[in-house]
Amino acid sequence: MKKKQQQHPSSGEDPWPHGAPVGGAPPCLGGCKRRIPLLPFLRFSLRDYGFCMATLLVFCLGSLFYQLSGGPPRFLLDLRQYLGNSTYLDDHGPPPSKVLPFPSQVVYNRVGKCGSRTVVLLLRILSEKHGFNLVTSDIHNKTRLTKNEQMELIKNVSTAEQPYLFTRHVHFLNFSRFGGDQPVYINIIRDPVSRFLSNYFFRRFGDWRGEQNHMIRTPSMRQEERYLDINECILENYPECSNPRLFYIIPYFCGQHPRCREPGEWALERAKMNVNENFLLVGILEELEDVLLLLERFLPHYFKGVLSIYKDPEHRKLGNMTVTVKKTVPSPEAVQILYQRMRYEYEFYHYVKEQFHLLKRKLGLKSRSSRLPPRPQFFIPTPLETDEPVDDEEQDDEKWLEDIYKR
């Protein structure tokens, strides 16, 4: 009669019903769990194994949804938010932004009859070549703005796609006063009397673009006014030939303050201050090639190659069409009166000219402008007769520019 095998008091059944393994083994104390035979240093329970497989399945499904829908599925985003405060954009961020040149905001508040027509034509070509945003305005010949008009214009310009270059006949605007980023300013001026004479005859007789051009510009001008002798206008102190009409250049740099339109020291000093603090370059029309060369050096992402385009014979041919016709020379007496009436304009002009020449010397720039003709006797004490590569007009002709640009 066989003896019954002794059972361990704490176990319900014999762990080895068919006999102990060879070599013997210690009895299992407590309940024993069946384990998957793995490497000795890797031991997982069925529960751990199932959790790993479920996680892998979720990852595969998430990747599939991401590729099919072009982005991560919503439930994964919610899961990430639940597990932590980060979101998808926190880790990956938005698409990389466009690298902008510096400066990326430039304003050319061009002065009338100071060669800005040629610069605008060049800018149209350069904007296509270099890919910057050339922002123009449909409003012409409105240089003085109310506070609301200033705010509206600054808002529209500040929201333009960068890099941009905004151009318009407008007096200096302080962007920072209305919470905007102050852009870099550039401009060009010329001898004040030459500018006045060019504007005087252009309003009456136009330029080489057509005999009827002046009729379109000033249709309401009476014949006696159109053919008014320049000497009579100056000597008889007609409004067109006296202040405040002659106080023209300084307000473009002084700004929108009412005192900027009053000829005097206050407006002059404020204009100088703005030139020093807000203008990257104020050039002289009589030395336009040097102005373009400096613009190309300071703002290459806007003006690279501008000098070669300007010297192109086809471009010069188009530019010469805008030279004012039928200009006559006032008498020496009339010119001396103009000097007296425009003394603040000349003080500003000479200040800007000295700064421009100082900048050229610092850069070791040799003048590339053509040699000026001999000074006429009546132009004392400064030379006024200058080369006019391209003339400008206060009332901008955008349609003409677009037609020329298309051709």
- Catalytic annotation, residues: 169
Q: Are 7 and 19 in contact (CB under 8 A)?
A: no
d(CA 90, CA 325): 65
- Going by the DSSP 8-state scheme, the letter that residue 100 receives in this structure is P
Which runs of consecutive H residues, i.e. helices, occur in 131-209? 147-158, 192-205
Contact 248, 344 (CB under 8 A): no
242 secondary structure, DSSP code: S
Torsional sign, CA 243, 388, 369, 121: positive
Amino acid sitting at position 374: P
303 Cβ neighbours under 8 A, 6+ residues apart: 126, 292, 295, 296
Question: Residue 248: CB partners within 8 Å, gap ≥ 6?
Answer: 111, 112, 192, 195, 196, 345
Amino acid at 122: L
Give the integer Cα–Cα distance in Å for 137 and 165.
12
Strands (E) located in 151-278 = 164-167, 184-189
